[in-house]
């Protein structure tokens, strides 16, 4: 992993910034979004810093894709949404706000407004409760 001391996601990977982690392996980390678009909104990132799709290595891209599938399946099983939106943006004009490659896994319900993030943080207790449900589904 490259040391990008100003990157919030690199800080999460290093353990310098707290996050409610759902899953971790050699190449990836999945954690709850603190400003979720919907309950269960999860992020999957590579441990190695890459600003966007154009910079990520093929190994890390494949690892993030596999982890995103694993987490999406667990979210689907644990929360039973009507659908799941998988989102990845590149550059500020596309809506990217953290410049470390990441994939959003957003559970969606029929009629739900499609937005990337809410403006307020959710309580850690609420996130931990959702995380426990998703983690149990990851194990099955």
Point out the residues that are catalytic: 102
Spatial distance between the Cα atoms of 120 and 35, rounded to a whole number of angstroms: 6
φ/ψ of 104, rounded to 5, equals: -90, 135
CB 104 within 8 A of CB 87: yes
Spatial distance between the Cα atoms of 65 and 48, rounded to a whole number of angstroms: 14
Spatial distance between the Cα atoms of 2 and 15, rounded to a whole number of angstroms: 14
Q: Strand pairing of 42-46 and 21-24?
A: unpaired
């Amino acid at each position: 992993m490259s040391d990008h001391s100003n990157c919030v996601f690199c800080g999460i990977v290093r353990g310098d910034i707290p996050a409610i982690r759902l899953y971790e392996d050699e190449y990836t980390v999945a954690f709850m979004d603190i400003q979720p678009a919907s309950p269960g909104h999860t992020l999957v990132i590579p441990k190695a810093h890459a600003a966007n799709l154009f910079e990520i290595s093929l190994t890390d891209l494949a690892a993030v894709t596999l982890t995103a599938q694993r987490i999406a399946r667990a979210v689907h099983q644990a929360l039973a949404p009507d659908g799941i939106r998988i989102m990845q943006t590149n550059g500020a004009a596309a809506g990217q706000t953290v410049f470390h490659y990441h994939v959003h896994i957003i559970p969606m319900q029929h009629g739900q407004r499609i937005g990337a993030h809410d403006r307020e943080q959710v309580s850690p207790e609420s996130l931990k409760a959702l995380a426990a449900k998703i983690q149990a589904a990851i194990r099955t």
